[in-house]
Every structure is written in C-alpha cells, then in structure tokens.
Amino acid sequence: MTETFAVEQRRKLVTSLPGPNSVALQRRREKSVSRGAGTLANIYMDHGAGAILVDVDGNQLIDLGCGIGVTTIGHANPAVVTAAAEQAAKLTHTLFTVTPYENYVRVAEKLAEITPGDFEKRSILVNSGAEAVENAVKIARKYTGRRVILSLDHAFHGRTNLTMAMTYRPWPERAGMGPFPGDLFSVPVSYPFRDGLSGADAAERTIDYIRTHIGASEVAAFFVEPIQGDGGIVIPAPGFFARIKEFCEENGIVFVADEIQAGIARTGAWYSIEHHGVVPDLVTSAKGIAGGFPLAAVTGRAEIMDAVQPGGIGGTFGGNPVSTAAALATFEEIESKNLIAEAQRVERALLARIGDWAERFDIVGEVRGKGAMFGVELVRPGTREPNPEALHTVLTHATANGVIPLDAGSWDSVLRLLPSVVISEELIDDAAGVLEEGLAKAQG
Ligand SMILES: *Cc1c(COP(=O)(O)O)cnc(C)c1O
C-alpha cells in the first residue's frame, strides 16, 4: 500500500511502558471502573491511524489486535470518520422501528450482496455481536419450532446470559454467573493440531455425538465460527463444515455462521465460511463491520428471517444512523481499496515472516491463519501440552515494547494476531522481531 496516514507508521517509544500518564489514569481507573473489565495492557490510548496507536504519553505502538478485530480497515479510517461526522450532524436517532431511514436499508441491501448464498435475504441490525447471536437463536427457534441450540467446543459467542452459555470457557467468562438457560449443547469441533482427524472423520464424531447425546430432530440451530477466534484461531479441517451443513439440511437444522470476528474482509474473503465452500442459512456480522462503531447484524434466508412476527425482534439503538453510515463507508473502503486483497497480502507477509516459528522455537506448536487472522499455539517443548506461562511471557514482553497482540485459546496458550489489513510489511517485520524476543525469553 502506498497510502499515507495521519500518524507515521512506525513504532516509537518515548517513555517506558506504561508511561507516567497511563500510570496516573490506571490509579483513577482502579477507583472507578469494575475490576471485572480486566485489561490486557494498562496503556491508555489517545489516538491512532492505520496500524499505529498513540498513547497518552506519546508512545507509538503497533496494534496487532484491532480491539479484537474491529478496526480492520485501520484506526480512525478517514472515510469512516467523515461519514460518521456528517451523519451525526444530520440525524443521530429515530429508532428504525418507529420511523425508519435509508442507511439501515442500504446496509441490509449490502449485507444481502456480500454474504454467501444466491437467494433472497433479509437482515436485522443490532448493537453488539452477542445481541446478533441472541437474535439468530430467537429467529431459528421461531422458524423451526424447536428449542435446542448447538455450538462447538472452544466456541465464543458472547457475554450475555444466553451467549455466555453458548461459549466454551468456564473461566473467566462464566464462573459464578449462572444459572444459564437450558437446551444449549456444546459438541466436538475439528481441531487438526490437537485431534489429528480429517474433516470427514471429525464431522462423523460430531454427528455421532449429536445423535447419541441430543437427538438431531430436537435441534433448531447449529452455530459455528468458521475460524474460531477466542478459541485460538482454530481452523477446522477441510470437509468438516461441508459435512456438518449436509447433516443440518438432512435434519431441518438452521446452520448459522458466526462471522463476528472472522467476517468482513479480515480473512481475505468477505466471510470466512467461503474458505470452507459452504453456504450458511444465517450469518452474524459485527466487530469489523463499521470501522470501530457499534453495529451488528443477522443476515440470512428470507423465509427464516421473515418467520418472526413484526415486533418480535428489534431494539432501541439497533442500526443507529451514525453506525450504519460508518458501515456504508467501511464497505465502500473495502471495495474501492480492494482490502480483501490487502488481507491476502497480510497473510503472505505473516507466513513469510513467522511461518517458520514452529521450526525455530521449541515452544511453538503451530502457526496457522487466514488473511489478517493468525494464531501461534504455544506448547511445552517436545509436546502438545498447552503453555500458558509462555504466552504470558510473550504478551508481557510485547506490550512493554510497544506491540499489542492478543491472547486466545481454551488453555490460554495461543498468541492471537488480528492486525489491520492496512499494516505494512515493515511494521509486520518490526512487530515479529519483538514477538521473537518474547518467544526466546519464554523458551528460557
Ligand atoms: C466478539 C464475538 C462475539 C460477541 O460480540 P460482542 O460485540 O462482544 O457482543 C460473538 N461471536 C464471536 C465469534 C465473537 O468474536
């Protein structure tokens, strides 16, 4: 890319991290913000551009996380900023279900175009990923008249009571927060690094589990992340989702692709299910959809989406005029700047730079990913045993040196990289160097 950014695209440290202004803010935060909102690095940000964040002490950090995959098209993307500011000056709220407006319709039209499947589609817009998943559950239950909802082992579907119960990890997401709703089941995923199964064999294991534990005829919907995000960038083996989708069709089950993290250009396709060659019935979108503004959507087959009675779904802020303006600008940026190809460029650059880490570091079990969505699974040397201490060391080293990656995985042992698709090769190289120092330290 030859784009110019409002902040020079390079790492620059002017204090130790966190700097004095961050430390002062952290003291205030401890007295005012719930400790339940845990923080990866106590470095307070002031502004950003492209793949660089600038903190309150003037340090420039390389962002490899995008606030968990949200600012995919770069921080404070100028097209998004302009569209949102212009819309905010015109109209900020009416509530679409009271008196509607065009932005909402345009986003729904665009979602029908970019989501997989050549059939009539409808969308509902909401505020957060979890809210989209909740609505997809409601819609699928209404359409099928059934109650059971399936999700995969290592899944992450959100933090509301229902979606938390569809999420895999007992700690820290769920501990002590029950009771949870019933009729939700977690079934085996395909995790090639850990189970060594082909996609077909893993799918048969999953289907057998459903038949023997749950009963296919009870199931309303099967929720999958085509590439699991919080679960550790788990990419099921080829053929797994094709067989699961076929099983859903045979049994009248709605197949839902939760694309909240992997969707919207991040993996080098509009939606990550495209890599598996499967067309879902419903798709959830959120995180990267509006360049940093809160917006989420459920999109899918018209007959499923329209099974709900008018007034059956909605919400006060859903599809807010400013968020939808930001989403339209995001779609336009992705298309006019060919950012799907940029995500593929990031994949090539990452593979070239970090693809050999499993050979170079005893504690790296596997490097895997698609587009700008990568995981580095850390293990105890010579085994596949998860190594959360190593991840902790790498994250501590990285954040102290101006690089912000993410953690992931049911065992807290996967280094997760979700950079912007506009990140340069130079920044990838510099950030990888810092992560390598962390890996060397963790290896001891
Ligand atoms: C983040 C995420 C959610 C929840 O989205 P929120 O906006 O945080 O509610 C759901 N599913 C997946 C796959 C996610 O990554």
Does residue 134's CB lie within 6 angstroms of at least one atom of ligand 1?
no
**pLDDT for res 171:** 86
- How does residue 356 score in pLDDT terms, banded at 50, 70 and 90? very high
Q: Whose CA is nearest to atom 5 of ligand 1?
A: 129
Mean pLDDT of 367-379: 98
Q: Whose CA is nearest to atom 11 of ligand 1?
A: 157
One-letter amino acid identity for 64?
L
pLDDT in tens, 192-229: 999 999 999 999 999 999 999 999 999 999 999 999 99
Q: 118: which strand partners?
A: none
Residues ≥6 apart with Cβ < 8 Å to 90:
321
Predicted confidence (pLDDT) at residue 2 exceeds the cutoff of 90: no
**pLDDT for res 98:** 97
What is the number of the ligand 1 atom nearest to the C-alpha of 130? 9
Predicted confidence (pLDDT) at residue 3 exceeds the cutoff of 80: no
Q: Is 332 left (phi over 0), alpha (psi -120 to 50) or beta?
A: alpha
Pure H helices in 157-298: 161-165, 192-195, 199-213, 240-250
- Nearest CA to 440 out of 361, 358, 353 is that of 361
Q: Give the DSSP letter of residue 408.
A: E
Q: Which residue has the tokens 């935060």?
A: 29
What is the number of the ligand 1 atom nearest to the C-alpha of 128? 7
pLDDT in tens, 20-33: 999 999 999 999 99
- How does residue 131 score in pLDDT terms, banded at 50, 70 and 90? very high
State the Cα–Cα distance between residues 221 and 255, nearest whole angstrom.
Answer: 6
- Nearest CA to 240 out of 282, 202, 278 is that of 202
What phi, psi does 174 have (nearest 5°)? -110, -15
Predicted confidence (pLDDT) at residue 1 exceeds the cutoff of 60: no
Among 137, 156, 161, 223, name the best residue to mutate to test ligand 1's pocket (greatest count of ligand atoms within 8 A of Cβ): 156
**pLDDT for res 173:** 86
pLDDT in tens, 332-354: 999 999 999 999 999 999 999 99
223 CA from centroid of ligand 1 (Å): 13
State the Cα–Cα distance between residues 179 and 273, nearest whole angstrom.
Answer: 32
Q: CATH homologous superfamily of domain 20-63+338-443?
A: Aspartate Aminotransferase, domain 1 (3.90.1150.10)
155 CA from centroid of ligand 1 (Å): 10
Domain range summary for the chain, segments of one domain joined by + = 20-63+338-443, 80-336
**pLDDT for res 11:** 98
Q: Whose CA is nearest to atom 15 of ligand 1?
A: 261
**pLDDT for res 170:** 85
pLDDT in tens, 240-253: 999 999 999 999 99
Does residue 156's CB lie within 6 angstroms of at least one atom of ligand 1?
yes
What's the CATH class of domain 80-336? alpha beta
The whole-chain average pLDDT of the chain stands at: 97
Packing angle, helices 199-213 and 240-250, rounded to 10: 40
Interior/surface letters 150-184, b for 16+ CB within 10 angstroms, e for the rest: bbbbbbbbbebebbbbbbbbeeebbeeeeeeeebb
Mean pLDDT of 175-181: 93
Count of C-beta atoms within a 10 Å radius of residue 89: 9
What's the pTM value of the predicted model, to 2 decimals? 0.98
- Nearest CA to 167 out of 142, 139, 186, 182 is that of 186
- How does residue 169 score in pLDDT terms, banded at 50, 70 and 90? confident
